[in-house]
Structure 1
Amino acid sequence: MATVSAKQNSGMSALSLVYCAMFAALMMIGANITTFVPFLMIGGVPITLQTFFSILAGLILGSRLGATAMAVYMAVGLAGAPVFSKFSGGFGQILSPLFGFVISFILVAYIAGKIVEKNGSLRSYIIAGLVAMTVNYLLGTNWMYFAYKLWASAPDAFTYKVAWIWMIPPLPKDIILSVLAGIFGHRMYKVLKVRRGR
């Protein structure tokens, strides 16, 4: 009996790793949609599907596994793989004005996961998506502003207001996708029956 139980736990652990790898791969794809659709670039900010996938990771995998998947994505990129936006990668990316968004994806998945772990209703899933998206915008945009002001070459007439103006075009898309992530995540969690680590 103990042997069967150990095998089941091992299987769940292996399945969790597969899900983590899957979402890390989805982030790599979502980061580079602008390569195939070049006009999805406003100012210095590419319009990607990463916010959607990071929220979905937290909703489906839970706070711990979702954050782990996003951390794996970040680590792979920092190690040199071209998985960040515009197929960039390497440790030097930590100085990029956009790297705050990469860091935020870990928090996005964690927060989204925590909210639905406490309440599994559809309403909570949608709220979790919108709250997590807000965290993504707050951390990413503030990092971008301070990066441009402190160590990167700021565009002419760049201000804090301009930084937020750049974020207006992708905002409707991210609001809609955050709501859809909540609806889709609520359904998929029940189908996949992921064992959330807490």
Structure 2
Amino acid sequence: MTADYLRTALSVRLALPADAADIARIHVKAWQAAYRSIFPAAYLNSLSIPKRQALWTALIARGMPRVMLAERNDVTLGWIAWGVSRDHDRRETDAEIEAIYIDPTHWRRGAGRMLIDEAINAAASEGYREMTLWALEENVQGLRFYKALGFALDGVFRTERVGGCEVCETRLRMAI
């Protein structure tokens, strides 16, 4: 199958509170797969789908961030959450991808690219002119993916404490 076929077979829609279970499941599975070399196994194994489901139910009901799903044949493959930038140095025209996760069984099949395209188009239609996102410095595959889509490192870093580890995140930016 060609990438074009796989991409056209996908659909994107806004998430509903009832989608929170799928979102939470993908959130946990993607963390466990993508970050296994970054965070301790005990921490990754402790991630709770029910806790994340409660979080995403509330966030989706609130309407911010906006959450969109990528689906194929009524199966949720991944999701993206985006909204106004939360950064202290933001401008009024800055939007932010807060999170994007694809079910690991569906990696590299077009869902991530499609979700980012949809978020960028939606943000641009609302008057945003820049899209930012944060990525772990150690997430080499993620950084490669974002750069291939046109995001560039903007030189801003932050340190976070997650799962008992201190990690560095780097910000990427794209004009939209």
For the aligned pair, the TM-score class normalised by the smaller chain equals: under 0.3
Q: Higher relative contact order at CA 8 Å, sep ≥6: structure 1 or structure 2?
A: 1
Larger of the two Rg values belongs to structure: 1
The structure richer in strand per residue is: 2
The structure richer in helix per residue is: 1
Please, what TM-score do these two structures have when normalized by structure 2? 0.26
Please, what TM-score do these two structures have when normalized by structure 1? 0.24
